[in-house]
Chains A and B, each alone.
Chain A
Amino acid sequence: SAVISQKPSRDICQRGTSLTIQCQVDSQVTMMFWYRQQPGQSLTLIATANQGSEATYESGFVIDKFPISRPNLTFSTLTVSNMSPEDSSIYLCSVEEVGNRGYNEQFFGPGTRLTVL
């Protein structure tokens, strides 16, 4: 199963600034996903990032606010731009891969806990 790391693990930022979150996978994967988990809430998919193409954003999320890069099959970044306190969340990346149970699964990174003051 894929091992995923994220940097930073947490950060405290000032409103109006931007933060870039990195996601590194230990194997080559086609599909990577970025989620937001607001305090006390469930996960919401922000976008799907496939290598070699533009990210596909879900309703309510736009590229200007959450630009995503996917330069190769093991790495992706999510930028949270012009931050406001409402952006305070945990941001998780995930990948789709065949797990040890023999079917496709999503494997999740540990998340980046962002606080915007």
Chain B
Amino acid sequence: AQSVTQLGSHVSVSEGALVLLRCNYSSSVPPYLFWYVQYPNQGLQLLLKYTSAATLVKGINGFEAEFKKSETSFHLTKPSAHMSDAAEYFCAVGWGASKIIFGSGTRLSIRP
């Protein structure tokens, strides 16, 4: 069965530092890969979606993710962290928007 693994349940970075959140998918390439963000006491919001059109996907709020088939990875990055980036981040795989399987999530904390 298709799945995703997020390495690190909690990541802490300093404000202004690089953000790297890791995600690996199971070996068969799903049609779509997603990153969602969940701010405290809010629902999920789509950051970006990989659709095979381009391996580097740019999302909202300065985030981007790169699809690497050789590494079965879809890591999320942001060059410079901001305090407002503190949230829970979920990697997910899907077949269209209807059937989505979420990873276990990574909580991002930003140190002043």
Contacts and interface: CB of A to CB of B under 8 A. Distances in A.
B102 A43 contact: yes
Given A42-B90, A42-B104, A103-B49, A108 B44 contact: yes
Contacts of B41: 110-111
A16 interface: no
Given A43-B44, A92-B43, A92-B44, A106 B100 contact: yes
A45 B100 contact: yes
B43 A43 contact: no
Majority-rule SS of A interface residues:
strand
A8 interface: no
B8 interface: no
Interface string B73-109: 0000000000000000010000011111111110000
Interface residues of B, number: 19
Contacts, number: 52
A87 interface: no
B17 interface: no
Interface string A94-105: 101001010111
Interface in A21-55: 31, 33, 41-45, 48
B40 to A, nearest CB: 11
Interface string B34-53: 00000001111110010100
Closest 9 CB pairs of A and B: A108-B43, A104-B97, A108-B44, A42-B102, A96-B97, A43-B102, A110-B43, A42-B104, A106-B97
8 contacts: A41-B105, A42-B102, A43-B44, A43-B90, A105-B97, A110-B43, A111-B41, A111-B43
Interface of B: 41-46, 49, 51, 90, 96-105
